[in-house]
Structure 1
């Protein structure tokens, strides 16, 4: 076999398709392998650049193949798809990955360590538990309304509602037993959320960059952790705007013929990170509109006059992302220039 200079691998649970080319860009390796066979083959193969689609288990395979001496590149699926010639087959996907890696302007996903992936599990578990809690809370309120019982909005008013249900003589015993089961399930979810939050706080306190990012108004510990764990190396971005664009907080550009046409935000990048920053910005704007806090900068007040609240929240999240990028690049802490303009000020 001629010397292979580049390999693309289409991964799955058990079957792996390899596509390799030589120095003349001619295919010299087209082979489908089982998991063990692929590991043994690449363990004994001379070091070579390898492209893998950034998907499930891709970080594990990247770490493993890097340990064999190879240089693994993780390519986002949307950037590899244009190189698929026709149809959807494992061989076509592997060839597309091999071709995409040859492009000098190709962008790659940073490989996460096992510790980083464990920390990201905390974020995923917390989101799932909160969604489950919301779903259960809505179900309890819906069932209670069928018996003419309602409670005030907010999670704090759910327990008093459950207590009222148990004391109400008009609620059948069967229904009370079912409400008691739901109350026990709700308490279990609450305890699990508390445990996950404690682990998140411990991780946050141990990470210096996360602590610094949490000082930005509207970010908080969760947003700071997401920025630390999910964002690529800040040095990969030339400016804060590029970082905000990676996060999907910049307008979609549909310009043509010299005519500039901007649409809604692209919503590219990580959904959880983007949603968390927008939620933090929304909370900050609510405080400003209520006259609380020191974050009512002239820029922010003027923005609220010109834009609806949701658009203003997205614009503020964009600004927060740029500040976070500057802090991560410079390594400095958040600094308030003056009491009137705290959000727009950043060290460096």
Structure 2
């Protein structure tokens, strides 16, 4: 029988496939190795067959490979597959659940990322990790020195200036033991600088700026308030073609910016935001909204008046999130 739909459970070295025909009868169920699964799939099914996978590590790569060969690939978020898992969880049941989930008429799918999107995403991931390493060492130094009454301004530049002064000041109450520890931490921070973290972050910032200047979508996104090269390229890398969403609220929901619901019996109860999707992109968007909120009081346009009033009546974090999901955010600068 002709296979019309195949669910694939991806793993590092083992791939489980589950295929059904037009009558929804299982006609192919097999576990394949990484080196052989693609060739086995090409031999068993014909172009035009629907292939479903969970949106996990490596899924976008395999989706592009299958699309090149004429297959209709659908990626599904893991939380939408879980309700269809029967009995115990294993690879075979997961593949069957994927095959079942992708057949639902109202199922939501994840758009396949292009290589360019993944390049941009890699830049953002590496940049974020480098900044976290530098920030973690600075926070460790601040936390320990605060117990001795030594406090530096928030910027890392000020901390770099303050530490040599603390080490040279013999009257600040530091013991000889802690001075040795602080000197070691200072050398650790200098070591991070010598490794070129600052230089690497600047190089990645230049790559982001080039991408933001050359990508037409990123250029249009930068016309919005609070959106610069970093946020614009992060949206391009994570969202891609926004036509996959029916409206802006659906996109906001995919980023975890809409409230959770716990409604029953006709009574609607809204909670905090869901925080689904990419946490880094959501963080960048909220920081962009906070920058708009910080300067809104000095402006007299409709958006500024609205968000300023909202910040006065509600918490400023609520106002920042509301600004991100509001249609007014598309007003030009």
Fold shared per TM-score above 0.5: yes
**Distance change in 2, residues 1:135/1:257 (3 Å):** same
Match of 1:313 among 282, 306, 320: 320
Match of 2:201 among 183, 189, 193: 193
RMSD over aligned Cα atoms: 2.4
How does 1:104-119 map onto structure 2 within 5 Å? 104-119=105-120
2:141 touches 2:185 (CA, 8 Å); kept in 1? yes
**Distance change in 2, residues 1:22/1:251 (3 Å):** same
The residue aligned with 1:178 is: 184
The residue aligned with 1:27 is: 26
Instruction: Give me the TM-score of the superposition, normalised by structure 1.
Output: 0.85
Match of 1:304 among 292, 306, 311: 311
Q: Quick one: distance in 2 between partners of 1:5 and 1:216?
A: 44
1:162 touches 1:179 (CA, 8 Å); kept in 2? no
The residue aligned with 1:271 is: 279
- In structure 2, the residue corresponding to 1:44 is in which secondary structure? helix
The residue aligned with 2:233 is: 225
The residue aligned with 2:17 is: 18
2:84 touches 2:101 (CA, 8 Å); kept in 1? yes
Q: Where in structure 1 are there 5+ consecutive unaligned residues?
A: 325-333, 337-348
Q: Quick one: distance in 1 between partners of 2:205 and 2:299?
A: 27
- In structure 1, the residue corresponding to 2:263 is in which secondary structure? coil
1:288 touches 1:295 (CA, 8 Å); kept in 2? no
Number of residue pairs matched by the alignment: 324
**Could you give the per-residue CA deviations for residues 250-278 of structure 1, whole angstroms, max 9, x where no partner exists?**
22233332222222222222222211111
**Distance change in 2, residues 1:298/1:152 (3 Å):** closer
**Could you give the per-residue CA deviations for residues 181-234 of structure 1, whole angstroms, max 9, x where no partner exists?**
223234232222112111111111111221221221122221111222211522
The residue aligned with 2:41 is: 42
109-118 vs 279-288, greater mean Cα deviation: 279-288
**Could you give the per-residue CA deviations for residues 120-175 of structure 1, whole angstroms, max 9, x where no partner exists?**
00111111112111101012223445666432232221121133145345775844
Q: How far did residue 87 of structure 1 move? A: 1.4
- In structure 1, the residue corresponding to 2:326 is in which secondary structure? helix
2:225 touches 2:329 (CA, 8 Å); kept in 1? no
Q: Quick one: distance in 1 between partners of 2:232 and 2:255?
A: 14
How does 1:104-183 map onto structure 2 within 5 Å? 104-145=105-146, 149-169=150-170, 172=176, 174-175=180-181, 178-183=184-189
**Distance change in 2, residues 1:185/1:319 (3 Å):** farther
Q: How far did residue 76 of structure 1 move? A: 0.7
Q: How far did residue 245 of structure 1 move? A: 2.1
Q: How far did residue 49 of structure 1 move? A: 1.1
**Could you give the per-residue CA deviations for residues 4-55 of structure 1, whole angstroms, max 9, x where no partner exists?**
1111010101001010011110111110011112122123332221101100
2:5 touches 2:50 (CA, 8 Å); kept in 1? yes
Q: How far did residue 65 of structure 1 move? A: 1.8
Is 1:241 aligned to 2:238, yes or no?
no
- In structure 1, the residue corresponding to 2:19 is in which secondary structure? strand
Q: Quick one: distance in 1 between partners of 2:52 and 2:242?
A: 22
Q: Where in structure 2 are there 5+ consecutive unaligned residues?
A: none
**Could you give the per-residue CA deviations for residues 67-119 of structure 1, whole angstroms, max 9, x where no partner exists?**
23222111111111111112110000000001111112111111112221111
Q: Quick one: distance in 2 between partners of 1:296 and 1:335?
A: 10
Q: Quick one: distance in 2 between partners of 1:176 and 1:308?
A: 39
